Amino acid sequence: MSNSLLPGHPKGLMTLFFSEMWERFCYYGMRTLLTLYLVKSLMKGDAEAALIYGAYTGLVYAAPILGGRLADKFLGYRYAVILGAILMAIGEFMILGGTEQMLLIGMGALIIGNGYFKANISTIVGKLYKDGDPRRDSGFTIFYIGINIGALLATTVVAFVGETYGFHYGFGLAGLGMLVGGLIFYFGRDNYAAAPGLNIREAGKEKMLGSFNAVQVITVGSLLLIPLCYILIQNNEFMDYILLGLFLFISYSMISAGAKTDRTENVGVWRDRMIALVIFMIINIAFWACFEQAGTSLTLFADRSVDRMIFGWEMPASMTQFFNPFFIIVFGSIFSMMWIKLSKMGKNPSIPMKFAYGILQLGLGFLVTQIGLQFVNEAFQVPLLTLVFLYLLHTTGELFLSPIGLSMVTKLAPKNIAGTAMGAWFLSFAIANYVGGKIAALTGGHGDSGEALSASEGLANYTSTFTTIGLVLVVFAILVAVLSKPLKNLMHGVE
């Protein structure tokens, strides 16, 4: 059945679009304000705030490994998404307590909830399309626009309300957004009912602990994981070992699952495809560790070293994050049509080359800060246009890489581990966000103890670091381009 709003696409796409849009409003609403809340309300130093931010966002993206696996084996995709929505809303409202302890408990609930929601709603989108359906890339790009409308609303409305009237009002708004997203998903469930794997699995109905079945045990157990997240955010040095261990384990698991599928189907390609997916995960880590400076070093850079006056009104620093989702919405549909037209012309770049182009644009975005330095005002601030052009290049780079990545995972992975593979893909985001926090801790206008550098020293520190990041990314993009042909061979025809 086609969707009246999106002719030619499955009916459920718009329901999933709006559910994800409001979930992203919740997540980005909290994320937009988090670094400034840590520095300005909880009086953390820049480096400590960046490491807390990195640990939190790292865990947010690691949780889908567990959420995807439990949905595959026990919960089914629908129950997992609904459970995730409820936990995320609870987490957002916990932050309203206003203390560091309540923030960390709320973060824990957001992490676990996101683990169930994020991996599984993306998997449902993939399952709306049959294998080889040429509309799949376009469908994921449309879904990705929904993500960014949510992010745009968060980085304008939540950012403005949070910085103007008080952080707790911003966090409260984000929680209400999550409730809306959960209700849309629940009441629109008939629209995506054709997707396979929605229902609770037979294993989920079996007894696991006394008279309690597996679904009930997992639901209660999810609440018990919240204190573990609290401890990991506070002691984020443990994350080094956890994320590396998870990466090695999940890589081995997927390559082994691919080899087993080869033996069953006698096709000999699944192991190679899983090796390709692991390599793409490493490339993805490099991209997003730098891209995710948006919520940390780039926001503090905006706060201290960017002239944000527009006709007498000063834009809140957190609101500068809105440039990215705004440009996604402007260019997203253009890119969606562009991939289809290039494909018909036989000129669509391979997935590895799209990744290389994306990384190149990300690097050039950071190098824009050098141009901004040529127009510094008397307060040692660069023009706001510096961030506009930086985020423009970051956004076009993202559109070469991110929606293509989601679609690629659903095409590369054997059906029996679809949720696990999507969870593994989000693990690469987890490592990237955590590494991004470590990178952000090296930049800044304040030291760990809170002493301020002078305006000129702070500006020099930021622009020097961003230039180094930009140059490293340009070199890495060239390396990926050189390796694109061997990578394409490992993918065995997946486009």
- Measuring CA to CA, which residue among 493, 123, 84, 40 is closest to residue 304? 40
Q: Tell me if 217 sits within 8 A of 208, measured CB to CB.
A: yes
Ordered DSSP codes for 420-466: HHHHHHHHHHHHHHHHHHHHHHT--SB-TT-PBPPHHHHHHHHHHHH
- C-alpha triplet 338, 389, 31: angle, nearest 5°: 90
Handedness of CA 452, 453, 454, 460 (dihedral sign): negative
Cα–Cα distance for residue pair 495/189, rounded to 1 Å: 31
Cα–Cα distance for residue pair 73/202, rounded to 1 Å: 9
Strands 212-213 and 313-314: unpaired
Q: Tell me if 361 sits within 8 A of 394, measured CB to CB.
A: yes
Work out the end-to-end distance of the chain between its first and last CA atoms, rounded to an integer number of angstroms. 25
Cα-trace Rg, the chain: 22
pLDDT tens digits in sequence order for the chain, 495 residues long = 344 456 678 889 999 999 999 999 999 999 999 999 999 999 898 999 999 999 999 999 888 888 888 998 999 999 999 999 999 999 999 999 989 999 999 999 999 999 999 879 988 998 898 877 878 877 887 888 888 899 999 999 999 999 999 999 999 999 999 999 999 999 999 999 988 889 999 999 999 988 999 999 999 999 999 999 999 999 988 999 999 998 999 899 888 888 887 777 656 788 899 999 999 999 999 999 999 999 999 999 999 999 999 999 999 999 999 999 999 889 887 887 888 898 889 888 989 999 999 999 999 999 999 999 999 999 999 999 999 999 999 999 999 988 778 778 888 888 777 767 877 887 899 999 999 999 998 886 555 455 678 889 989 999 999 999 999 999 999 999 999 999 999 998 887
3-state class (DSSP) for residue 310 = strand
Backbone angles phi, psi at 432, to 5 degrees: -60, -45
Check residue 49 and give its pLDDT.
93
Structure tokens at 342: 């290039």
3-state class (DSSP) for residue 67 = helix
Cα–Cα distance for residue pair 491/455, rounded to 1 Å: 50
- The DSSP output letter for 373 is G
- C-alpha triplet 152, 239, 225: angle, nearest 5°: 75
Tell me the CB-side half-sphere exposure of residue 191, using CA atoms within 13 A.
21
Structure tokens at 3: 């969707």
Structure tokens at 121: 């709603």
- The DSSP output letter for 317 is G
Looking at domain 13-490, its CATH architecture is Up-down Bundle (1.20)
